Structure 1
Amino acid sequence: MSHRNARLTVHGRRILVERVLAGRPVAHVAAEMGISRPTAHKWVRRWRIEGEAGLHDRSSRPARTPHRTPAATESAVCRLRAERKLGPARIGPILGLPASTVHRILVRHGLNRLAFLDRPTGRIIRRYERARPGELVYVDIKKLGNIPDGGGHKVMDRRTAMDNKLATTDERKSSKPVIGYAYVHSAVDDHSRLAYSEVLTDERKETAAGFWQRANAFFARHGISVERVLTDNGSCYKSKLFTQALAAAGITHKKTRPYRPQTNGKVERFHRTLLDDWAYLRPYTSNGERTAALAVFLHTYNHHRCHTALGGHPPISRVNNAAGQYT
């Protein structure tokens, strides 16, 4: 790709060649276009040898690198990274390499971030993305502590917050009152990252099945026909009721392997964003206030928030693009 101050683009090089072929001196054409004679001769020569393809930019990558680190040393770097999870600053002294060289080797092999590895096994996590919306939808639950009326200790001092907790729990005499949890049920489309969430009171099979019916209706309103649903092995998802709710709509139910949250990674990552941009964004004074803010977050996430995996576009843009592609 040409840099921003380049005098010639592919179009400009084509004009250069045309003027030279018309019989004008190369030096005169070079002066008119603000480039040197050697540069003008270079593009004319490339055009005569390669034709139109010779006018395009070439990769600056060298054809050979005689001083590249030996393959055996690179294998040792990768082995230390995978087995012992060491960083460049620790691998370097062990193998007698600069930390910068170790880092380049790790980047070359896709090991520069520990998040790219499965921690127990050290294997590279294989990322995947389905070809169209609805081909796979992730469903999961995130548990959040309830907020006592008036707010917790982030809104007021701890003594007042404790009194609020006692009042919220029917004035039970307890030094550690339990006010319960709210359960955020979420469904995320693999291809578009379009998301739907609800704050519910539990994670029972009836609640999970009802949530899915509403989530499926949400995806249908956006023109997405769900084919498969991937869940973990929670009891509500292993129930016959949840499986029947999927089968009634002709949807295949898939489950992750036990203790492999990476398989469900897109909804896990969505929950992290949900916590940062909604649940812990600001102090709330009640459960109702926090729940009401969820709708604003979902609209922003689906329609306005740029997603790095989508080329800087929001999920709804990929849904619309896919609708035009497959209709």
Structure 2
Amino acid sequence: MIVRAVRDQHLTPTQAAARYRVSRQWVYELLKRYDREGPAGLVPRSRAPRHRPGTTPAVITDRIIALRRQLTAEGKDAGPATIGWHLHREGLQVPAASTIRRILHAAGLITPEPRKRPRSSYIRFEADLPNECWQADITHWYLAHGDRVEILDFLDDHSRFLLHISTQNAYTGTDVVTVMNALINQYGAPSSTLTDNGMVFTTRLTARNAGRNGFEKLLEAHHITQKNGSPGHPQTQGKIERFHQTLKRWLRARPRPTTIEDLQAHLNDFRTWYNTDRPHRSLGRRTPCQAYTALAKAHPQTTTEPEWRTRTDRIDNHGKVSLRYAGRLRHLGMGRANIGQPVLMLIHDHDVITTHAETGTIIATHHIDDTRDYQPPDKNTPTTREPPEKQ
């Protein structure tokens, strides 16, 4: 209409601009287009720039999408920061994390999730040195035929280095002690441990006075500080709980194993990948192995509290009483002359003094040998004399 007003109605460009409320420059531009291209020159055109120097190259966009699909299929971390780390390792241009996220959204590769609690609301703690604190826990997995098995893992709090991961049908306190002993021999004793309140780790919440279990006794022997989370508050062991998410996502991406041996093979592969090939956000995109070997190791710095407790019992028909020590029942010899007598046992770490519960007379003393079930009395105790008469 503007061109016809100038050419057919003989308005000046100034008059046409005033009538249609546009600028004179725009009127002249329309006239040039009409003279050069005819009516086709008046068709509305895109206002987008011809060149976009900030646009992510197509090869980078395709690689981002391919990495997302590949890492997700393998059960590995596939967030924008992790994808950026892989691009950098491949020598490619690394867009901002927000750009990678927009590319993933545009490709429909991000599933919206409910709003989560903001990271800033969490109280975060981290050990300053490797071996300053080891976290341990037991989780479970299912084999192909539906059998439920347990997985035991130890994680260094500072570096997230996976010290140990293994599986079997069920773990006992003795199994945990065996693993902990092997880790101490390999990596040195940590300054402290952090676990939940499972019976294999602590007896502090048991109703009966069972004494310290094998794991607690082992920590005591190495002067390792034991820390336990509050019941019903797994956030205290947040690192290893979050680690289990990574572990199970990795396992779900693989065929479900039919035997424990097959599952252990998967766990061995996972440990290698997790420690040496997985960048960790909280470690500045370093791997746990790099973080664990970067600093000197911490050592136990405190002395543990000695164990004091008492136990009442009656000497059985074989001249013995039972005592749970380091998670196992021990049988303490008292002598057949004292069969049936009520006793009070005073336990101080490895030493046990047994007295007659009514008269206070010492019946026997023992120094517990961890390697034995039956504990003979010390030679200097009067276990063969006649039982004291009741008052």
TM-score, normalisation: structure 2: 0.42
Indicate the structure whose relative CO is greater, using CA pairs within 8 Å and at least 6 residues apart: 1
- TM-score, structure 1 normalization: 0.49
Structure with greater strand share of residues: 2
Q: Which has the higher helix share?
A: 1
Larger Rg: 2
